[in-house]
Structure 1
Amino acid sequence: MNSDEQLRQRAERRIASQPGAGSGQEPASNQWQFAQQQEHELHVHRMELEIQNEELRRANQQLEQAHHRYADLFEQAPVGYVILDDTGVIQQINQTGCHQLGAMHRQLIGRRFSLFIATDQRVAFAALLQQLFQTPARTAQPSNIYRRELQMLRQDGSEWDAQIEYAGLTEGTRPMIRATLTDVGDLKRSQREVERLNETLEQQVERRTFQVQQLHEELQTFVYSVAHDMTRPLRQIQGFSDLLTRHYPPSDEKSARYLSYLKLATTQMGEQMSALLAFFQSNQPINHLQPIDLNRLIQGVVQELASEMRGREVSITHDELPTLEADRQSLLTIFSNLIANAVKFTRPRPQAIIHVGVQEQRDTYLFSIHDNGVGFDQSTARRLFGLFQRLHSERDFEGQGMGLALVRRIVQRYQGRVWAESVPDQGSVFWVQLPKNPSELLDDARW
């Protein structure tokens, strides 16, 4: 019996139950009006039911579309989805999962998932499954996802690498686990290739490092040998030049000039050899660090340069400098070379002004040596710290072009930085950045 018929019968019963209905006590017009009213209500109810039925059909259609849409997403997902019960039996699996396990859908439903895991990893999988089902409330949370990498088996017995994510499901009364399978075989192969290349690269680096060390030792030996072999003839030339000057003084100005050139050349060559030896000796490991008061060290450098400043008006000042844990000879070489350069290149100034400053940074000290000397073209600054590089004529300023190269080498050993800024005829500033705790950086310092 449909809803309309039920409503009609209900209306007839209401008419029959009215007082005097069918007994002739009320006029027939009243009964007719009552019947019309009931028929109108019946019509209204019928329309409401049709509207509700239409809404229900539309909702069912939307649910069906959503079901198909999410079913397609589940089936065509780029990863495998497997639904397992509490015994590890496959209840549902998508097409990607079937492809990964190498079997048809009907061949997999109802089978134990552990059959597709490498034999030596099945015990670990069983323990994980037990752990997941023992704490269903926790595993059901979306944020509680367990990841494992397992060696998987296909239906034909071939192996493949998988990353599996497990999450609990709360649908129905029986607990379930959703396992997401991702084939990481390509990633594993890439990792193994990277490891192989890294190992090969390390071997190449070790071999090249050994070759560089050998070449460096050979070069150092050669420099020492040349310096040693040249020292004796240089001293002889210088000695004989002094004897000639004392016992056979030049009879004319030209001979005297030639003899002075000879003595100057031997002196310069000796200084060049000494500077070259000092440069290579800076390669020696720094084994002894001690607290160095830079204020006292700078004062000592200024005293050593007193002869260079005799007859000149030179002002050398400095900030309150820190105490550094370092090798004293290294710091002495750095600051003596930089301050000596400032003294030399301020020589044309009627009053030379040199200042050593410091800025404390988080892990380093940044030192600066300002002067009001002749300066240099900033575009040539990259040549400053090169071996045997000079930016000024030797006729104007003497030197071997070794001091700044030596400074850079020592600063780099301390894993610091050194650079210079200048404007021609407006002075220069040399910057030296050194770590506060060099002892932490020098353990493996070998050149």
Structure 2
Amino acid sequence: MTTFNDLQQRYKQQEQELHVHQVELEQQNEELRRINLELEQARNRYADLFEFAPVGYVVCDQGGLIQEINQTGCLHLGADYGALVGRPFALFVGNGQRAAFSELLHAALLPGGDTERSRMEVRMVDPGGRHWDALLECTGLAGSGSAGQPASLARLTLTDITQLKTAQRETERRTRQAQQLSEELQTFLQSMTHDLSAPMRQVGDFARLLGQTLQTPDQRSARLLENLLRAASHMNALMGSLTRFFQSGQPLGRHQAVDLNRLVDQFVLDLGPERHRRQLRITHDLLPTLQADPLSLQMVFGNLLSNAVKFTRPCSEARIHVGVQEQEDGFLFSVRDNGVGFDPGQSGRLFGLFQRLHSDRDFEGQGLGLALARRIVERSGGRIWAESVLGQGSVFWIQLPRDLGAELGDPEVSW
């Protein structure tokens, strides 16, 4: 039989259990309030990220009607939030691209989406009639459709690329203008060299004929005839150099294997009598075989070697060496000589068109060879520069990329 004391003890026990449950419930409520506060703070943070993102975010339904849009999107489309929600997004797309936008939206809503057709550049127009360029990216929102069915909502990302497209169009315009000017200059050069070549040949022929006609020309007449022939020869050489310089701007020829060892050997053979009249020693390292345009490499190394031969002329024993260093991303060539050198302070002029660092009385030339070499090397993705000490020789460096393709050639050869 349950006594009053038993009931009293049971009541106290239940009261204690209820108090424990009450404490636990208050702790759970406190944790729930903390979690809700954190969720609210996170929602506010992400709402700010959405609203004030540097790109426009627009949520559209399957019909292309705007369901949600952030503040940046409102600024892009030129209207307030209330005036945009429920309106077709296509109204803000240029007339010629609305069909393409519909295809983009349809592809994005398909199960899995269509990654190849998820973006396009569009010409947008705001209610005031202002046109601007945008990159439009379209993605179906996960969870907005049944499994295996098209999504019901899509997120559009709008990036204003007006400045980029304006700069691109300006660059294209200037490129077309530069190409047109280059073609006009090339045409003028060809016409000039063609029209002047015949008169210059006639001047030379006339001077030679005049020299033969005069039985015993006096010293002054002989000197004048000699100067006339030299000027005609110089003019012909200058026209030839100009032609080669502007031809270097034309597309490169077909790439084929070019053995630089043979190229240097042939240059030495072509020196002919000059090699035998002088103490001239030309050596080279193991040089690679490059997959390149042969004529371009001939002009680069030919001009550098010709310069070395010319500026070592005052030396009792001229020494010229072509070296190579293999690098991770290409090859570094050098053409070194013990000639007269040049003032390092003038190196900025060295590769300029018609720039010459020595008097024409001392060394002949038109000042085009190094400009031609630089143009070819830079068009090939390489670099060219020079180092020198006046009176102690020079070294010209040519850095060419590895993607020209190469394999080592014959061992060192000297003459």
Tell me if TM exceeds 0.5: yes
CA shift, 1:341, in A, is: 0.6
* Cα distance change, pair 71–239 in 1 and its aligned pair in 2 (3 A): closer
Question: Does the 8 A contact of 1:387 with 1:402 survive in 2?
Answer: yes
Look up the equivalent residue of 1:356 and give its one-letter code: V
The answer for the alignment partner of 2:31 in structure 1 is 63
The answer for the alignment partner of 1:311 in structure 2 is 277
State the percentage of identical aligned residues.
44
Partner Cα separation in structure 1 for residue 228 and residue 107 of structure 2: 90
Partner Cα separation in structure 1 for residue 169 and residue 351 of structure 2: 33
Deviations 1:145-181 (A, max 9, x none): xxx99xxxxxxxxxxx9978769xxxxxxxxxxxxx9
1:320 aligns with 2:286: yes
SS in 1 for 2:336: strand
SS in 1 for 2:332: strand
CA shift, 1:390, in A, is: 0.6
CA shift, 1:378, in A, is: 2.6
* Cα distance change, pair 77–165 in 1 and its aligned pair in 2 (3 A): farther
CA shift, 1:290, in A, is: 2.2
Mean CA deviation greater in 277-286 or 393-402: 277-286
Partner Cα separation in structure 2 for residue 372 and residue 7 of structure 1: 119
CA shift, 1:288, in A, is: 2.9
* Cα distance change, pair 315–438 in 1 and its aligned pair in 2 (3 A): same
Which of these residues, 366, 390, 399, is aligned with residue 400 of structure 1? 366
Partner Cα separation in structure 2 for residue 205 and residue 402 of structure 1: 29
* Cα distance change, pair 424–165 in 1 and its aligned pair in 2 (3 A): farther
CA shift, 1:53, in A, is: 10
The answer for the alignment partner of 1:379 in structure 2 is 345
The answer for the alignment partner of 2:396 in structure 1 is 430
CA shift, 1:342, in A, is: 0.8
Look up the equivalent residue of 2:386 and give its one-letter code: A
Question: Does the 8 A contact of 2:343 with 2:390 survive in 1?
Answer: yes
Partner Cα separation in structure 2 for residue 123 and residue 438 of structure 1: 42
Deviations 1:297-324 (A, max 9, x none): 1101011123333432121110111112
Deviations 1:96-115 (A, max 9, x none): xx9979xxxxxxxxxxxxxx
Look up the equivalent residue of 2:294 and give its one-letter code: R
Deviations 1:387-417 (A, max 9, x none): 1111111111111111111212222332322
Question: Does the 8 A contact of 1:305 with 1:340 survive in 2?
Answer: no
How many residues get paired?
A: 324
Which of these residues, 44, 49, 61, is aligned with residue 76 of structure 1? 44
CA shift, 1:421, in A, is: 1.8
Mean CA deviation greater in 419-428 or 249-258: 249-258
Which of these residues, 262, 277, 300, is aligned with residue 243 of structure 2? 277
The answer for the alignment partner of 1:335 in structure 2 is 301
Equivalent positions of 1:341-380 (< 5 A) are 341-380=307-346
Which of these residues, 161, 166, 183, is aligned with residue 217 of structure 1? 183
* Cα distance change, pair 422–248 in 1 and its aligned pair in 2 (3 A): same
Partner Cα separation in structure 1 for residue 106 and residue 281 of structure 2: 83
SS in 1 for 2:397: strand
Which of these residues, 247, 261, 271, is aligned with residue 213 of structure 2? 247
1:417 aligns with 2:412: no
Deviations 1:217-254 (A, max 9, x none): 21111111111221122122212221222222565433
* Cα distance change, pair 68–219 in 1 and its aligned pair in 2 (3 A): closer
Partner Cα separation in structure 2 for residue 368 and residue 295 of structure 1: 14
CA shift, 1:59, in A, is: 4.6
Question: Does the 8 A contact of 1:346 with 1:373 survive in 2?
Answer: yes
Which of these residues, 252, 265, 273, is aligned with residue 231 of structure 2? 265
* Cα distance change, pair 395–215 in 1 and its aligned pair in 2 (3 A): same
1:237 aligns with 2:196: no
Larger Rg: 1
SS in 1 for 2:277: coil
CA shift, 1:272, in A, is: 0.8
TM-score, structure 2 as length reference: 0.64
Partner Cα separation in structure 2 for residue 124 and residue 418 of structure 1: 51
SS in 2 for 1:78: helix
Q: Which runs of 5+ in 2 are unaligned?
A: 49-66, 71-85, 89-101, 113-117, 120-136, 144-152, 406-415
SS in 1 for 2:46: coil
The Cα RMSD (Å) is 4.4
Look up the equivalent residue of 1:338 and give its one-letter code: L
Question: Does the 8 A contact of 2:356 with 2:367 survive in 1?
Answer: yes
The answer for the alignment partner of 1:297 in structure 2 is 263
Partner Cα separation in structure 1 for residue 291 and residue 44 of structure 2: 66
Partner Cα separation in structure 2 for residue 430 and residue 356 of structure 1: 9
* Cα distance change, pair 431–60 in 1 and its aligned pair in 2 (3 A): same
Look up the equivalent residue of 2:194 and give its one-letter code: H
CA shift, 1:8, in A, is: 9.1
Look up the equivalent residue of 2:390 and give its one-letter code: P
Partner Cα separation in structure 2 for residue 123 and residue 429 of structure 1: 61
Question: Does the 8 A contact of 2:387 with 2:394 survive in 1?
Answer: yes
